[in-house]
């Protein structure tokens, strides 16, 4: 892998920032917001930020870059697909539970639902994430989809996955800001920068940094998983694949097809060189 040291540093940094973000969310709800429970009170609402940050941000981020981990290149592509899908499924479940907590809290307190921009974009993100997960299972995990369909769907799958991830982080920032504005109206007010506001603002900064790390690692072509048949060789020699298709969250059979095309092209080039040399010798 090219720049393995830099990739490892970014990976460790991303995991550390993501883990600290989860810890900050727990400190927020337990130290400042009365903790967690499932009784229709504000403690039930507190599940929402904790599960969103843990599942929809942290676990989804890991799912995005799981194919980039070079020590997994010896694993079969099918196994990595199941790991990728499993992590996304866990993130989806946690996101749904967090939304149920919000609706139950609102209904118990006669608070209107779905009136803020945060709720609109958040619900849209969950819906599109569900569709993304369903299509991922149908096209890339089940053996019925032809390679041509997988090749056609892959760019959409990659783009939509990264877009949803960025949207989730933006929605989380709106949500924690909205919560602070509602909760810190006086004694102390949000504008007075009390410790809770400082903690949550730092949490927002950590989420942005985590998103930047994940999107950077997912978008570098030289850190992508190589074709299945070249993975072990690249790990041994430290080389990098050339001309592989764009991919960040899933791979498909197109890699093998492209490898075959490159091999055929290389063989044709060598054959032409031999013919040229033979022609030159015949005229000498």
**Least confident stretch, 161-165, 204-208, 231-235, 246-250:** 246-250
Q: What is the pLDDT of residue 281?
A: 37
Q: Which of 1, 72, 21 is nearest to 213 (CA)?
A: 21
Task: Report phi then psi at 170, rounded to 5.
Answer: -60, -40
Between 3 and 238, the higher pLDDT residue: 3
Q: What is the pLDDT of residues 16-25, one digit of tens each?
A: 999 999 999 9
Mean pLDDT of the chain: 84
Residue ranges, comma separated, of all CATH 1.20.120.1770 domains in the chain are 4-225
Answer whether residue 191 shows pLDDT above 90. yes
Q: What percent of the chain has pLDDT over 90?
A: 70
Q: What is the pLDDT of residues 262-274, one digit of tens each?
A: 444 455 455 544 4
Q: What is the pLDDT of residue 124?
A: 97
Supply the pTM of this predicted model.
0.80
Between 281 and 96, the higher pLDDT residue: 96
Answer whether residue 92 shows pLDDT above 90. yes
CATH topology of domain 4-225: 1.20.120
Q: What is the pLDDT of residues 93-118, one digit of tens each?
A: 999 999 999 999 999 999 999 999 99
Q: What is the CA radius of gyration of the chain?
A: 24
């Amino acid at each position: 892998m090219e720049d393995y040291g830099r990739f490892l540093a970014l990976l460790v940094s991303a995991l550390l920032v993501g883990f600290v973000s989860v810890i900050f969310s727990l400190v927020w709800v337990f130290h400042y917001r009365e903790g967690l429970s499932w009784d229709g009170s504000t403690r039930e609402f507190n599940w929402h930020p904790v599960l969103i940050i843990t599942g929809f941000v942290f676990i989804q981020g890991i799912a995005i870059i799981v194919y980039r981990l070079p020590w997994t290149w010896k694993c079969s592509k099918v196994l990595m697909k199941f790991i990728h899908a499993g992590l996304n499924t866990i993130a989806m479940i946690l996101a749904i539970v967090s939304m149920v907590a919000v609706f139950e809290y609102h209904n118990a307190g006669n608070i209107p639902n779905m009136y803020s921009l945060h709720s609109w974009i958040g619900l849209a993100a969950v819906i599109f994430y569900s569709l993304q997960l369903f299509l991922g299972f149908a096209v890339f995990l089940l053996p019925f989809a032809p390679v041509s369909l997988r090749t056609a769907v892959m760019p959409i799958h990659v783009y939509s996955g990264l877009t949803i991830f960025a949207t989730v982080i933006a929605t989380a920032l709106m949500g924690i800001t909205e919560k602070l504005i509602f909760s810190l109206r006086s004694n102390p007010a949000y504008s007075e920068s009390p410790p809770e506001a400082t903690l949550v603002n730092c949490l927002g900064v950590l989420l942005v940094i985590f998103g930047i790390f994940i999107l950077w690692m997912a978008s570098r072509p030289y850190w992508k998983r190589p074709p299945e048949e070249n993975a072990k060789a690249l790990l041994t020699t430290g080389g990098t694949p050339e001309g592989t298709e764009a991919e960040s969250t899933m791979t498909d059979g197109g890699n093998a097809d492209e490898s075959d095309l490159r091999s055929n092209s290389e063989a044709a080039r060598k054959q032409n060189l031999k013919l040229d040399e033979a022609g030159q010798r015949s005229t000498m």
